[in-house]
Structure 1
């Protein structure tokens, strides 16, 4: 994603984009709004999906939470996904690969988008104030080389991100070791709870732990809401 400055959330990535004039150009597609027919005055936000399902695509609860909070925040949303085969398909009842199955990332993502989705190849930074990548292992397998905050650390040296806590704490933070990967890439890791988000205003980066924490779903939802509010605040400036 050359030339793109990213807003990364722990299982999310959010990037702010402005045109050279500081104005947001109209979206090329009439399907820009996710739901509802009334025009919105809020920022245009792209959401990039990576399939449908936590183990081989987008984590559905995270995607749903971000879309709800964007809707509540008055954003105009357009959904994207790459038109490519999934790396593999996981049987979610067993947590194991389904060797005989193949799926397409765009078609699987359309399940979450209720059919209103565009090929990622058509995403143009100048058309949006921000872009958010919900998490799930599909973000690593089908889109990125690693989970979102580590990618931010690699792209933006010195960026501040959070993946939550730095110790497992009896299994509450099973992926706490990710914080060390963030630090190893020269980024600053900021300890945050699951309901919180960290805003790096200098780099326009917003992060939240989400499912990096073993927490009740409503706490994940609240953390995503904090992240989305941070993204929209930056997008409106």
Structure 2
């Protein structure tokens, strides 16, 4: 039975949107495993725009949904159209967009809030006990979605893991090639470019995450 997976993108580009390698690896693995995928993104302005050549902020404005369409080859919908009952699982790639556009974690840290439409969808998956995969910096939002006690990883970064703990999460250090699973909540996380030194290193953990998320969708299948 074909599984349907929603993927939330946060723009296009590691410094101000979705991490492109992580996003493409996720979409590739889902396709390789025969999943049916629909990308979503919030229809909002980015926090800011970064010149990826120089790392400097640019004096312009871009839309998260429009920029996400670059990665999704135009096949992306406003996240407000997403309905949890239409999907078996949810995956959120990383990149600073997760901490700048899907939330304000990059600015507020442990005091952050999640963008309302993103939070509503993620909470719906959590409430339905459907598998969720959070990649790279995205697990920093886990405690805001699941509440205190949620188990996740962002790798080994001390400051970020401390923020996760301050928000009520339980952080487990994790190698770039591996995943951490909260079995009670069906949440799977992996560090990816929080630790990866190459695209193939990032791919190792992301492939494991996608595979495990899809395995969890089959629990209870007859």
Q: What residue is the counterpart of 2:140 in the other structure?
A: 150
Which of 52, 56, 65 pairs up with 2:12? 52
Question: What is the CA deviation profile of residues 14-43 of structure 1, one whole-angstrom value per residue up to 9, with x for unaligned ones?
Answer: xxxxxxxxxxxxxxxxxxxxxxxxxxx321
1:129 aligns with 2:129: no
Q: How many residues align?
A: 187
SS where residue 45 of structure 1 aligns? strand
TM-score, normalization by structure 1: 0.75
Q: Is the 8 A contact 1:163 1:176 kept in 2?
A: no
**1:62 Cα shift?**
0.3
SS where residue 199 of structure 1 aligns? strand
Greater shift after overlay, 178-187 or 61-70?
178-187
Question: How large is the Cα RMSD of the aligned pairs?
Answer: 1.3
Note closer, same or farther for the CA distance 1:227–1:92 as it changes in structure 2 (3 Å cut).
same
Q: What residue is the counterpart of 2:127 in the other structure?
A: none
Q: What residue is the counterpart of 1:82 in the other structure?
A: 42
**1:73 Cα shift?**
1.5
Matches for 1:94-113 after TM superposition, within 5 Å: 94-99=54-59, 101-113=60-72
**1:177 Cα shift?**
2.1
Question: What is the CA deviation profile of residues 57-86 of structure 1, one whole-angstrom value per residue up to 9, with x for unaligned ones?
Answer: 100000001011111111110011111121
**1:193 Cα shift?**
0.4
Question: What is the CA deviation profile of residues 149-176 of structure 1, one whole-angstrom value per residue up to 9, with x for unaligned ones?
Answer: 22212332111101112xxxxxxxxx33
Q: Is the 8 A contact 1:82 1:106 kept in 2?
A: yes
Q: What residue is the counterpart of 2:153 in the other structure?
A: 162
Matches for 1:5-24 after TM superposition, within 5 Å: none
Q: Is the 8 A contact 1:164 1:208 kept in 2?
A: yes
Which of 197, 200, 207 pairs up with 1:218? 200
Q: What residue is the counterpart of 1:64 in the other structure?
A: 24
Larger helix percent = 2
Determine the C-alpha separation between the residues in 2 that align with 1:213 and 1:177.
14
Which of 118, 130, 134 pairs up with 2:77? 118
SS where residue 37 of structure 2 aligns? strand
**1:214 Cα shift?**
4.2
Q: What residue is the counterpart of 1:18 in the other structure?
A: none
Question: What is the CA deviation profile of residues 80-128 of structure 1, one whole-angstrom value per residue up to 9, with x for unaligned ones?
Answer: 11111211111111111101x2111111111101111111110111111
Q: Is the 8 A contact 1:164 1:176 kept in 2?
A: no
Q: Is the 8 A contact 1:145 1:151 kept in 2?
A: no
The structure with the larger Rg is 1
Matches for 1:188-227 after TM superposition, within 5 Å: 188-227=170-209
Runs of 4+ in 1 over 4 A off after TM superposition: none
Q: What residue is the counterpart of 1:183 in the other structure?
A: 165
SS where residue 143 of structure 1 aligns? coil
Determine the C-alpha separation between the residues in 1 that align with 2:83 and 2:194.
30
SS where residue 15 of structure 2 aligns? coil
